[in-house]
Structure 1
């Protein structure tokens, strides 16, 4: 059994499905790393922070971007919400050949009973980021069927407005990871569905080396695919929206939407 809190590689299938003004689907594959922060900061993983390599992890790519320990950053987020004793695993795409870009990384916080919170760290191609904290108001365990809703406060795609709602859902395994993020327009209709899901295997030196050799420039490939897809949307006449100034709110909350006993 591969537990994400022991370290893992996730062979993820990424899917975007757009409806409304233009029905389009966009698919690609990428390998993500699930990095338990206590072991990452202790240097006890094949990927070590701020070390050069074909694949690498750089602290200042995450959180406040100041290069501080990642454990300190996530503790500042979780502790005020009554979650001081959680173990945290970061699910992210490592840098490839020195270049890094992550459309979204997920900070998974759990205790002995199960998953308690997920921080979705969303980045755009303009170098900006926003944090969506997903949890139940009473911090109960998150089930794979639970959905969390929060306002879309961050400009990501120039072909979507900065309005409406996001709905998040998560499956933390074991032996797999899945995240689903849907965007609902102001009319209440889901206009963009996204998913990132796949099987997990142990994060060993051999598995990491094989993955890095197979995809040495993975983030560059991903951002190239994103721009290629954007070009195709523009060629189909989808309205292009210039980037608005980023809101001062850098973090927001997404709460459960009424399933189970909410």
Structure 2
């Protein structure tokens, strides 16, 4: 079965289910790639890295965006959290298509020498060009299993129809042969107001498989941003108030490690 750490194409089903003042599901499909960051740093991935391509990855789209190796960036976050040994990292992301790139969320999957998942860095972007990093790990820094639910505070404005308050609950399944990420937004009273998921089978990442996927979806990134704006228009048409974006907090990295709704 395909290992995400060897590289993979993920045929993902994306779902957003809003609850409370309006109930409307939002579903679409997208093909993500899982690429070891070492291959990105060496520019030896099966798809174009830092050069033109129907599908491509630009290293400056991730991390500090300062041109340094991605391994240096993630190591600088793992070490202070006591996760130095979780240094085998693969990036699950939406590739650029026809030169255009937008990633609502990318996941840095970090495993240790025993091949156990120990941390996940969720790199979240909004349509205003801002980003926040949620570093997810267990309180004991042990293996993250598919049944673990990790909690942390919501510190980043994403949707113009949801306040920057409450918390997130994360869950991950890293295969083999599949990938799943579930992120729920919880109101201050702990009730789930928005559920999201990204789930799909993984298959081998090769130049041939990337070429076939890119030819099927040459404008995938453009489609995703268009669908997000279309969904926003539908929600606004139902009379839901548009919330003005608050200034982004100076804190750009937060740790998600609680199992009782408390992060650090």
Residue of structure 1 equivalent to 2:46: 46
* Superposition pairs of residues 63-142 of structure 1, within 5 angstroms: 63-85=63-85, 86-111=87-112, 112-142=114-144
Whether 1:227 and 2:232 are equivalent positions in the alignment is: no
SS of the residue corresponding to residue 27 of structure 1 reads strand
Judge conservation of contact 1:55–1:96 (CA < 8 Å) in 2.
yes
SS of the residue corresponding to residue 248 of structure 1 reads coil
CA distance in 2, matches of 1:98, 1:67: 18
CA distance in 2, matches of 1:187, 1:142: 26
Deviations, residues 157-206 of structure 1 (Å, cap 9, x unaligned): 00000000000000000000000000011122100000000000000111
CA distance in 1, matches of 2:115, 2:57: 29
Deviations, residues 76-97 of structure 1 (Å, cap 9, x unaligned): 1112222223200000001000
CA distance in 2, matches of 1:256, 1:153: 15
Shift of 1:138: 2.1
Judge conservation of contact 1:30–1:218 (CA < 8 Å) in 2.
yes
For structure 2, list consecutive stretches of 5 or more residues without a partner in the other structure.
Answer: none
Count residues in correspondence: 259
CA distance in 2, matches of 1:159, 1:258: 26
Judge conservation of contact 1:40–1:47 (CA < 8 Å) in 2.
no
Judge conservation of contact 2:185–2:193 (CA < 8 Å) in 1.
yes
CA distance in 1, matches of 2:34, 2:53: 17
CA distance in 2, matches of 1:117, 1:93: 20
SS of the residue corresponding to residue 5 of structure 1 reads helix
TM-score of the pair, normalised by structure 2? 0.96
TM-score of the pair, normalised by structure 1? 0.96
CA distance in 2, matches of 1:245, 1:42: 36
SS of the residue corresponding to residue 136 of structure 1 reads coil
CA distance in 2, matches of 1:121, 1:242: 22
Shift of 1:44: 2.8
CA distance in 2, matches of 1:127, 1:40: 23
Whether 1:10 and 2:25 are equivalent positions in the alignment is: no
CA distance in 2, matches of 1:187, 1:80: 31
Spell out structure 1 runs of 4+ moving beyond 4 A. Answer: none
Deviations, residues 110-161 of structure 1 (Å, cap 9, x unaligned): 0124100000000000000000000012210000000110111100000000
Judge conservation of contact 1:149–1:254 (CA < 8 Å) in 2.
yes
Judge conservation of contact 2:48–2:55 (CA < 8 Å) in 1.
no
* Superposition pairs of residues 1-262 of structure 1, within 5 angstroms: 1-85=1-85, 86-111=87-112, 112-257=114-259
